[in-house]
């Protein structure tokens, strides 16, 4: 093809590119506007901004204002990899390993129970076709507790409960996608169900995903040891998130599992041995931004895609599906929780109630439903049922999670902790200012009267802050355990950073486990959720 032809094709594509850019900027402007209002208006602050975006999207759908067509490829290949990577990057391996048993049970067993329960319930009570029952079950098997986890973080809910919910979501996304692909063949009539074959295919999907994620994760971890370029390392994590997903899918493996594996390795191993603290902070802040941006767009577009006519036509089936999914979620959480508790990974009854009610459905469910091929006659019904159940979980369950946490006594004291941490930070900062003023006073570099006056003022402020800290500690004894927890994290960071510096300098060949991890006692570790 000649250069002139290439130039002509490029020119012809320019209007489409401009139109796409305009649509993207419009979606982004609306999403950021809603996110800003959710923090500017006091009575909206108790509602997770993702749910506000969903409501705005629903309002636009009522007015028949459609931004773009939310295709399954857009969700699975553009939106999902960075969301998975960010969650895996931020989850601590020590916490994940401690609760690996319940997370594994919920991620694998929960998907099987959900698919089986919905298949039976929809066939028995709604009389739907085999294809509809199978694909609705597989689509709704993946949980998406973004709104609930954001609420947990805002109000300081116990970290273990957050780990359980995030861990389940991270891994059951991959299991649900694999289950959907397996069941799609049955629905189309191209495959026959055999337990042994299904298990082998599942193991192969997961094994390829873990292998690809492990190779890329460890490879980048050791590569970043050789240089200290924050922007390059940040860019490499972005390439890793998308590249891992695409490579695993190309090899017929699970892209979701691959991205989760890479994120876990880079967040817990690579960032420690290959990045200095400044770079880790830069990368973490970058992924916080990416997750915020993608979640803002996804939830707005999900609401904007709703077709209310389809919901009305399938309302009886949707109500049955909602009832069934609440029931099978209860069987999954409480039943598998008994097994977990028997093997020592205790989860309290209150914690299990929150896990049951917080099992929301979101972007993965929508993507799987939209990816049902047109060859299946019931495709539109499947999409409507999945959208109806998803809206119920996000709006009803999502908006009632905070009252549930309050009723169960699990709502944390994050605002109090933030105020306490701010006062401690001010005391530390002013003490450093005081040391500097005293150094200048002794060296007589500047006017002595000025230095002495400033020293008096700073000391008075330090005394005021210390008095407030003492009052807070007397009124809220739990702040002592919070302070100890923060101090432990600081000590672990110092030890990890020391090992990383020695490895980067070539003085240490192997990665050393943290000695203080087992020496220091976390005040909250003995408390079951």
Got the DSSP string for 416-460? HHHHHHHHHHHHHHHHHHHHHHHHHHHHT-S-HHHHHHHHHHHHH
pLDDT at res. 7: 42
CB atoms within 10 A of CB 98: 15
Cα–Cα distance between 66 and 87 in angstroms, integer?
A: 29
* pLDDT value at residue 523: 46
What is the spatial distance between Cα 95 and Cα 167, in angstroms, rounded to a whole number?
10
For position 332, what pLDDT does the model report? 94
Neighbours of 511 (CB within 10 A): 14
* Residue indicated by tokens 């020119």: 11
- Tally of CB atoms within 10 A around 150: 17
Q: What per-residue confidence (pLDDT) applies to 526?
A: 43
Residue 81: closest CA among 211, 237, 204: 237
Half-sphere exposure of 495 (CA within 13 A, CB side): 16
CA 243, CA 262: separation in Å to the nearest integer? 10
> Do residues 173 and 361 lie in contact, with contact meaning Cβ atoms separated by under 8 Å?
no
Predicted model pTM: 0.78
**Residues 453-481 pLDDT 10s:** 888 899 999 999 999 888 888 887 777 77
* Residue-level pLDDT at 156: 66
Spacing of C-alpha 90 from chain mean position:
8
319 Cβ contact list (under 8 Å, min separation 6) = none
Cα–Cα distance between 43 and 24 in angstroms, integer? Answer: 29
Quick one: residue 252, left, alpha or beta (phi over 0 = left, psi -120 to 50 = alpha)?
left
Which strand (E) or helix (H) includes residue 462?
helix 448-475
Q: With a cut of 50, which residues of the chain have pLDDT below it? A: 1-8, 10-12, 523-528
Dihedral angle at the C-alpha atoms of 118, 123, 126, 130, nearest 10 degrees?
100
Instruction: Please tell me what DSSP assigns to residue 276.
Output: -
Q: Compute the distance between CA of residue 342 and CA of residue 393 in angstroms, rounded to an integer.
A: 30
Tell me how far apart the alpha carbons of residues 130 and 146 are, in angstroms, rounded to a whole number.
31
DSSP letters, 69-138, are ---HHIIIIIIHHHHHHHHHHHS-HHHHHHTHHHHHIIIIIHHHHHHHHHHHHIIIII---HHHHHHHHH
């Amino acid at each position: 093809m000649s250069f002139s032809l290439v130039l002509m094709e490029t020119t012809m594509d320019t209007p489409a590119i401009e139109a796409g850019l305009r649509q993207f900027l419009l979606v982004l402007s609306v999403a950021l506007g809603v996110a800003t209002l959710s923090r500017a208006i006091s009575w909206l602050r108790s509602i997770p901004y993702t749910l506000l975006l969903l409501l705005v999207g629903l309002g636009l759908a009522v007015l028949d204002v459609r931004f773009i067509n939310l295709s399954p490829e857009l969700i699975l290949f553009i939106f999902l990899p960075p969301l998975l990577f960010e969650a895996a990057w931020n989850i601590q391996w020590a916490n994940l390993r401690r609760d690996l048993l319940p997370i594994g049970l919920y991620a694998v067993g929960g998907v099987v129970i959900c698919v089986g329960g919905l298949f039976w319930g929809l066939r028995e009570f709604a009389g739907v076709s085999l294809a509809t029952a199978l694909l609705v079950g597989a689509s709704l098997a993946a949980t998406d507790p973004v709104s609930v986890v954001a609420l947990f973080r805002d109000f300081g809910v116990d970290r273990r409960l957050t780990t359980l919910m995030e861990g389940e979501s991270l891994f059951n996304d991959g299991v649900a996608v694999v289950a959907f692909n397996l069941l799609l063949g049955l629905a189309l009539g191209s495959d026959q169900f055999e337990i042994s074959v299904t298990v082998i295919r599942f193991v192969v999907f997961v094994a390829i995903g873990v292998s690809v994620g492990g190779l890329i994760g460890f490879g980048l971890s050791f590569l970043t040891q050789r240089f200290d370029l924050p922007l390059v390392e940040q860019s490499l994590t972005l390439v890793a998130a998308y590249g891992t997903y695409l490579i695993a899918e190309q090899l017929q493996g699970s892209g979701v599992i691959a991205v989760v594996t890479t994120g876990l390795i880079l967040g817990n191993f690579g960032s420690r041995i290959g990045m200095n603290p400044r770079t880790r902070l830069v990368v973490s802040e970058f992924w916080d931004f990416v997750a915020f941006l993608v979640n803002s767009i996804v939830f707005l577009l999900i609401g904007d895609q709703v077709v209310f006519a389809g919901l009305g036509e399938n309302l009886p089936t949707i109500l049955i599906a909602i009832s069934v999914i609440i029931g099978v979620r209860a069987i999954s959480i409480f039943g598998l929780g008994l097994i977990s508790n028997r093997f020592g990974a205790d989860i309290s009854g209150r914690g299990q109630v929150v896990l049951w009610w917080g099992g929301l459905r979101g972007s993965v469910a929508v993507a799987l439903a939209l990816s049902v091929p047109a060859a299946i006659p019931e495709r539109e019904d499947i999409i409507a049922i999945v959208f109806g159940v998803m809206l119920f979980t996000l709006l009803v369950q999502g908006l009632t999670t905070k009252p549930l946490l309050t009723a169960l006594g699990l709502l944390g004291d994050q605002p109090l902790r933030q105020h306490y941490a701010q006062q401690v930070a001010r005391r530390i900062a002013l003490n450093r200012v005081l040391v500097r003023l005293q150094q200048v006073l002794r060296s007589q570099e500047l006017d002595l009267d000025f230095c002495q006056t400033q020293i008096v003022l700073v000391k008075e402020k330090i005394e005021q802050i210390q008095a407030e800290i003492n009052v807070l500690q007397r009124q809220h004894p739990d702040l002592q355990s919070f302070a100890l927890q923060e101090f432990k994290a600081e000590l672990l960071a110092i030890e990890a950073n020391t090992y990383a510096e020695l490895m980067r300098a070539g003085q240490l060949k192997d990665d050393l486990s943290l000695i203080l991890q087992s020496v220091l006692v976390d005040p909250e570790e003995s408390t079951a959720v």
